[in-house]
């Protein structure tokens, strides 16, 4: 669609090379679940002569390794407990239901951003650069920043081909409100024709709208804790609040029906919210929580790069660097063997 629209608007010249066009349309790494590439970025790369680049290939392999870790070690382990709790939500306490939402939050992030890392890394082996699709969204300080960091290729697509052509926020408050709801409802509908997805988009529109109307949607442009390892107390509280409201939206995304979503939320905000979570496999879930903590630490350490391990241990001795890579590889193999593999979530959309 972007190819046709850009040609119609005169932003792009039609290509006369059918092979390059066919490669653009069917480029396998990102074909199923993104990143959603545009012809203006991807098509010229097929028209240019390419040679094998060792440094780029090494970087691609590292990004693929991190993507497989996200998917198999983080997402698939979180899926075990997220599915158990969501599928039997009436049986659990509020604290257990809240933990189930956290598990799903890291399941969908590890699953989808992991796929994107694998796709981007695979493309680098062919000398093709795909756009970055995730930039540590759970470190966002407000919901506007979250959407600049989550599924970037889809967010920018809706911005450039829907929101701005409709007038964006340049034509008064009511047009701004209308356009904000249109793009978020369209984003929900893009995921599927279920009311839960529409509700998810509607909720994020409600989150986003006050920031747009108060002109505060671009106050967090600079990287979080730039040139610092530790965030400030204010930044940490903003990150936690943004993560919590995002998780509230994930309930609607994961629930089977609207009734299921509302009953799940009612269950969270019950008197049992402050009880100790209790569910089958609770002890083994502690290992998954530990892995999530390690995962977040690595992501935080590499938050200034395109992917977390791009330069991690780059200045260290080869023993430490390769030891880290082998730990990742070993954990991927162990989890793949002993954990039931889960289909990529975004394959269903």
Cis-peptide into 285, omega within 30 deg:
no
Q: Using CA atoms, how far apart are residues 308 and 135, in angstroms rounded to an integer?
A: 9
Give 13-76 as a 3 state SS string.
CCCCCHHHHHHHHHCHHHCCCCCCCCHHHHHHHHHCCCCCCHHHHHHHHHHHHHHHHHHHHHHH
Q: How many other CB atoms are there within 10 angstroms of residue 62's CB atom?
A: 21
Q: Which of 120, 116, 78, 124 is nearest to 99 (CA)?
A: 78
Q: How far apart are CA 71 and CA 115, in angstroms?
A: 7
Residue 262 burial (10 A CB sphere; 0-12, 13-18, 19+): middle
Backbone region of residue 281 per phi and psi (left: phi > 0; alpha: psi in -120 to 50; beta: other values): left
Q: Which residues contact 58 (CB under 8 A, 6 or more apart)?
A: none
Displacement of CA 170 from its chain's centroid (Å): 29
Residue 89: CA count within 13 A, CB half-sphere: 25
Q: Which residues are catalytic?
A: 191
Both tokens of 180, joined, read: 């904000």
Q: Considering only CA atoms, which of 193, 190, 168, 191 is closest in space to residue 178? A: 168
For 133, counting Cβ atoms within 10 Å of its Cβ (0-12 exposed, 13-18 middle, 19+ buried), the class is buried
């Amino acid at each position: 669609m972007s190819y046709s629209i850009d040609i119609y608007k005169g932003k792009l010249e039609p290509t006369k090379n059918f092979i390059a066009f066919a490669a653009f349309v069917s480029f396998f790494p990102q074909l199923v679940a993104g990143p959603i590439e545009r012809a203006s970025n991807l098509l010229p790369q097929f028209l240019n002569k390419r040679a094998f680049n060792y440094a780029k290939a090494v970087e691609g392999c590292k990004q693929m390794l991190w993507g497989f870790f996200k998917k198999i070690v983080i997402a698939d382990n979180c899926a075990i407990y997220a599915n158990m709790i969501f599928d039997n939500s009436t049986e659990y306490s509020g604290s257990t239901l809240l933990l189930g939402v956290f598990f799903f939050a890291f399941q969908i992030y590890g699953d989808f951003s992991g796929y994107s890392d694998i796709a981007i890394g695979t493309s680098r082996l062919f000398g093709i650069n795909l756009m970055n699709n995730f930039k540590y969204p759970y470190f966002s300080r407000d919901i506007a920043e979250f959407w600049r960091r989550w599924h970037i290729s889809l967010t920018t697509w809706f911005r450039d081909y829907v929101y701005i052509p409709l007038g964006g926020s340049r034509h008064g408050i009511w047009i701004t409100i209308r356009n904000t709801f249109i793009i978020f409802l369209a984003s929900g509908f893009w995921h599927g024709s279920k009311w839960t997805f529409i509700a998810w988009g509607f909720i994020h529109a409600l989150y986003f709208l006050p920031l747009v109307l108060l002109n505060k949607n671009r106050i967090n442009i600079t990287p979080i804790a730039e040139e610092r390892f530790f965030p400030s107390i204010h930044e940490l509280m903003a990150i936690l609040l943004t993560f919590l409201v995002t998780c509230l939206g994930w309930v609607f995304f994961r629930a089977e029906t609207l009734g299921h979503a509302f009953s799940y939320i009612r269950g969270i905000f019950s008197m049992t919210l402050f009880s100790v979570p209790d569910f089958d496999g609770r002890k083994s879930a502690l290992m998954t929580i530990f892995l999530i903590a390690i995962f977040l630490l690595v992501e935080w350490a590499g938050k200034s790069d395109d992917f977390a391990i791009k330069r991690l241990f780059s200045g260290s001795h080869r023993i430490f660097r390769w030891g880290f890579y082998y730990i990742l590889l070993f954990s991927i193999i162990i989890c793949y063997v002993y954990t039931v593999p889960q289909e990529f979530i975004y394959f269903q959309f």
